[in-house]
Amino acid sequence: MRDDDATDGGEAPTENQPHQFDRLPATVADRDVPERATREGVVEYWRDRYGVDPAVWDGYTFWEKGAGKVWAFAADVPSPVEVEALGMTFLRTGGEHWKPTTDAVQRFGRYATADDTVVDLSRERARRFLAGGDQDLDWDGDWGYLVVRHEYGGRPEPIGVGLFLHGELRSQVPKGRRREL
């Protein structure tokens, strides 16, 4: 990887540089890298798909490190910045369907109010999901990426992202986060 390469600062970037973080432009009109997601787009995505109140993101800045990899940061620093990490991995915006990360859903899934993209599993099914397994599911909500929760500690708690297609819920929990409980 070229993670240690120096970058020349100052000028506006014209392409994505994989080793640095760039703050997302506020809107399409402010963007100088074609295809890059915008803050407005990110906020609308969470509102439209998962019913997250845009006010949740008031203190947040969004950053891209490598094309399509968006990070959420509860503070702000001058952009671009070369650091190891900035807040948490948050969203993949490459391709037709955007995909929230496990980190994002565990941290912000509690603000999701939509009922057609948030699914609650029994403890047994939740276990299979956390272990990374796929399962048939009788679900008449949306297809695509869902917030998957179960009841734990007295509240519905998000576990991660599931991909629902053709009657099957596929766990998107990354290998390092899977557990056999």
Which one of residues 72, 118, 121, 148 is an interface residue with other proteins (CB under 8 A)? 72
How many chain residues interact with other proteins (CB under 8 A)? Answer: 32
Report which of 42, 45, 10 is spatially closest to residue 27, judged by C-alpha positions. Answer: 42
Which residue, 166 or 179, has its beta carbon nearer to other proteins?
179
Integer Cα distance of 151 and 169 in angstroms: 18
Question: Nearer to other proteins by C-beta: 40 or 157?
Answer: 157
Please report how close the Cβ of residue 151 comes to other proteins at its closest, in angstroms: 9
Tell me if 5 sits within 8 A of 19, measured CB to CB: yes
How far from each other are the two terminal CA atoms of the chain, in whole angstroms? 36
Smaller CB separation from other proteins, 3 or 138: 3
Q: Is 58 in the site for other proteins (CB under 8 A)?
A: no
Distance separating alpha carbons of residues 30 and 93, to the nearest angstrom: 18
133: contact with other proteins by CB under 8 A: no
Q: Does 176 bind other proteins (CB under 8 A)?
A: yes
* Closest listed residue to residue 117, CA positions, set 31, 30, 45, 24: 45
Stretch that binds other proteins, among 23-31, 43-51, 103-111, 135-143 (CB under 8 A): 103-111
Contact 80, 9 (CB under 8 A): yes
Minimum gap (Å) between residue 177 Cβ and other proteins: 7
Residue 101: CA count within 13 A, CB half-sphere: 16
Residues forming the site for other proteins (CB under 8 A)? 59-60, 72-75, 77-78, 81-89, 103, 106-107, 130, 152-155, 157, 159, 176-177, 179-181
